[in-house]
Chain A
Amino acid sequence: MSALLSVRGLRVEFPVRRGAFGRVSGTVKAVDGVDLDVRRSETVGLVGESGCGKSTTGRAILRLVEPTAGRVVFDGEDVGALDGPGLRRFRKRAQIVFQDPFGSLNPRLSVGAMLEEALQVHGLAGGDRRGRVVALLERVGLRAEHVDRYPHEFSGGQRQRLGIARALSVEPDFLVLDEPVSALDVSVRAQVVNLLVDLQRDLGLTYLFIAHDLALVEHLSDRIAVMYLGRIVELAPADALYRHPRHPYTRSLLSAVPRPDPIGRERRRRIVLSGDVPSPVDPPTGCPFHPRCPHPLKDEECRRVVPALAEKAANHAAACHKEPAERSTTRP
């Protein structure tokens, strides 16, 4: 399967300003060298704790924030080189759904006006615009009569359906889903998750699914990338990542997830990490995870040398000096 999206060496740095004159006193390396391929019709999950750079990665791919360095290639085209009309063509094919549907919907536009505007901007304003809008609403599980309502008249789950309808209005191939169900209650969350699954199946969509909820990421993703302090520390098919995590951070992250299984809670061995995620303004030297890492073989190398994301088993890469590679694998 060919890659629809190919990201190489992606970096996003933000200046840190201090004082009344906004003197630049440092940089935050929000994304610090990310390589990632997303194949056609697959879902890649991007998971990590707050501040790990997962949302910034998603936005930089769509050039909603400008990358500091690196290359994003979408269907053979270098996204970084696109100008006005080219960028608009790209945005017609690559869309985003945000976490907070209310914050991303214009409160003064009716649902119909909002969706028609998107069609118009992208030159999809054929004869039956209203009909297209109604079809779109029905596609995401809303009804024709919702066309004249305003965002505040909808519940949280319905608003997220609107956010999805807005993204789908231009008939994209690729969606960045940035914590699309995190703000929803559990019963409604499952409704929206099923909708995303159905849309992908019916429309052949490709997803980059960004979330902090590991159980949900596993449920939706074919492959999963785990981020820590701006870097991908592990990349593997979903089942392999859950059954045999190969980075100590992934192992502790998985063990920290509360499971709805009270019977097994006594048996489960939990690795509780000490401390918090370090500040990306002043990241640790060497492996970014080393100050919290519980790996028994941790040594001077971890404190000095940044580990590269290396293949440890077939299709399973981790950025850890101490995690052995299985013999049979060949390095890419």
Chain B
Amino acid sequence: MNARSGGAPLLSVRDLRVWFDTDQGVARAVDGVSFDVLEGETLGIVGESGCGKTVTSLSLLGLLPRPPARVLDDSSIRFRGEELVGASARRLRRLRGNDIAMIFQEPMSSLNPVYPIGDQIGEALRLHRGLDRRAARQETIRLLDEVGIAGAAQRVDDHPHQLSGGMRQRVMIAMALSCAPELLIADEPTTALDVTVQAQILELLASLQAARSMAVLLITHDLGVVAEVCDRVAVMYAGQIVETGTVQEIFGDPRHPYTRGLLDSLPRVDDPGHRLKPIPGTVPPPTHWPDGCRFRDRCPLAAPPCAAPQALLDLGPEGRAARCWRAP
């Protein structure tokens, strides 16, 4: 919420292509994605399942198994100016945790069930910050307290199964924060949680971000969550970014028909009983993106110019853009 405009971006992704070799052919899961994350801001990447948002986030830290994944040669991921595509495994390991941390949808699968949570956070502190056992335990308790776990001094010895879903996500956040990262990648961090617990976690993330002036890259399918917490938004469809803008621009003045379609699909609290306007059809499989505009088959405004591939057209300052010839 305190984006500093100007200055070099913290993270700069250019023309990222991540393809998968599958039995059905080449799946172009991420197909030419470019965006920046500025210091201290929250950028949301939003889209439906299969749009490539999670593959984008995993590829940033080299977390995709290769093969089957391939990051194409012209792709560039720069963090503080340093190129990460092609960086050594050792270098990426050092960045993960120290400078860039990540939390996932399902904290249970990211925690080791047989060790107390304190040991797991402590391990990160000893490896990345070189603390001894005693100091690591102290710091772990402080972190658990910071993420709002009551009775942190006792909870530190709990095993993951003894915690609720919301508490586990707090533990994951504590672990992510342990090395004071400059960028937190949060991939559907509240999707598995109930709405009252989701509100707690979103509030926690916002307050931690403000206190630590950390940038957040939020990956989500939930437009409500985007509207609540993001500064800027990138909407993805079929492996590409189709629209970018500030959160106010995306929700108040959507320029791409897909963005408009997503917003029209939502029930509106101020007008219950109005008929929803769904987007017809379904997302095509990533092995068979349509030629030209990839949204063309589902678009109510499709016309002959849509048969040509669409470029992301600049619509204004500070990264306002849409991938539609009608948008300007």
Residues on A facing B (Cβ under 8 Å): 49-50, 155-158, 185-191, 193-194, 197, 212, 214-216, 218-219, 238-239, 242, 252-253, 255-263, 265, 270, 272-274, 276-277
The answer to whether B225 and A187 touch across the interface, beta carbons within 8 angstroms, is: no
The answer to whether B199 and A256 touch across the interface, beta carbons within 8 angstroms, is: yes
Contacts of B48 in A (CB 8 A): 185-187
Q: Quick one: closest B residue to A270, CB to CB? A: B199
The answer to whether B272 and A191 touch across the interface, beta carbons within 8 angstroms, is: no
Q: Give the docked Cα–Cα distance between A274 and B201 (Å).
A: 11
Q: Quick one: closest A residue to B274, CB to CB? A: A219
Number of A-B contacts (CB under 8 A): 128
List 27 interface pairs A-B (beta carbons < 8 Å), by A numbering: A49-B194, A157-B282, A186-B223, A188-B279, A190-B264, A190-B277, A191-B280, A193-B276, A214-B195, A215-B267, A256-B196, A256-B198, A257-B224, A258-B198, A259-B228, A260-B251, A260-B263, A262-B228, A262-B251, A263-B251, A270-B199, A273-B196, A273-B200, A274-B200, A276-B164, A276-B197, A277-B196
Contacts of A215 in B (CB 8 A): 224, 266-269
The answer to whether B267 and A155 touch across the interface, beta carbons within 8 angstroms, is: no
Question: Is there a chain A Cβ closer than 8 Å to B227's Cβ?
Answer: yes
The answer to whether B282 and A238 touch across the interface, beta carbons within 8 angstroms, is: no
- A253 and B195 contact, Cβ closer than 8 Å, known pairs A185-B283, A187-B262: yes
The answer to whether B265 and A276 touch across the interface, beta carbons within 8 angstroms, is: no
Q: Give the docked Cα–Cα distance between A215 and B282 (Å).
A: 23
A50, A187, A189, A238 — which one has the most chain B CB atoms within 10 A of its CB? Answer: A187
Contacts of A216 in B (CB 8 A): 267
* Interface positions of B from 201 to 229, Cβ below 8 Å from A: 202-203, 221-228
- Chain B, residues 79-100, CB within 8 Å of chain A (1/0): the string is 0000000000000000000000
Contacts of B279 in A (CB 8 A): 187-188, 190
Q: Give the docked Cα–Cα distance between A270 and B203 (Å).
A: 10
Which of B165, B197, B275, B280 meets A197, CB within 8 Å?
Answer: B275
Q: Give the docked Cα–Cα distance between A198 and B54 (Å).
A: 35
The answer to whether A261 and B276 touch across the interface, beta carbons within 8 angstroms, is: no
B234 to chain A, nearest CB (A): 15
Question: Is there a chain A Cβ closer than 8 Å to B167's Cβ?
Answer: yes
Contacts of A270 in B (CB 8 A): 199, 203
B48, B269, B279 — which one has the most chain A CB atoms within 10 A of its CB? Answer: B269
Residues on B facing A (Cβ under 8 Å): 48-49, 164-167, 194-200, 202-203, 221-228, 230, 247-248, 251-252, 261-269, 272-273, 275-280, 282-283
Q: Quick one: closest A residue to B263, CB to CB? A: A260
- A187 and B265 contact, Cβ closer than 8 Å, known pairs A194-B276, A238-B272, A262-B251: yes
Chain A interface, DSSP helix/strand/loop, else mixed: helix
Which of B196, B224, B272, B282 meets A49, CB within 8 Å?
Answer: B196
Which of B196, B197, B227, B268 meets A262, CB within 8 Å?
Answer: B227
The answer to whether A272 and B203 touch across the interface, beta carbons within 8 angstroms, is: yes
The answer to whether B49 and A260 touch across the interface, beta carbons within 8 angstroms, is: no
Top 5 nearest A-B pairs (CB, nearest first) are A258-B224, A190-B278, A219-B267, A187-B279, A256-B199
The answer to whether B265 and A186 touch across the interface, beta carbons within 8 angstroms, is: yes
Which of A186, A187, A197, A262 meets B247, CB within 8 Å?
Answer: A262
B17 to chain A, nearest CB (A): 24
Q: Give the docked Cα–Cα distance between A252 and B199 (Å).
A: 10
A243 to chain B, nearest CB (A): 10
Q: Give the docked Cα–Cα distance between A270 and B198 (Å).
A: 12
Q: Give the docked Cα–Cα distance between A258 and B268 (Å).
A: 12
The answer to whether A212 and B276 touch across the interface, beta carbons within 8 angstroms, is: no
Contacts of A218 in B (CB 8 A): 267, 269, 272
The answer to whether A188 and B282 touch across the interface, beta carbons within 8 angstroms, is: yes
Given A190-B276, A256-B199, A273-B196, 6 other A-B contacts at CB below 8 A? Answer: A188-B278, A189-B278, A190-B265, A190-B277, A219-B267, A262-B248
A114 to chain B, nearest CB (A): 21
The answer to whether A259 and B265 touch across the interface, beta carbons within 8 angstroms, is: no
Contacts of A238 in B (CB 8 A): 272
Contacts of A194 in B (CB 8 A): 275-276, 278
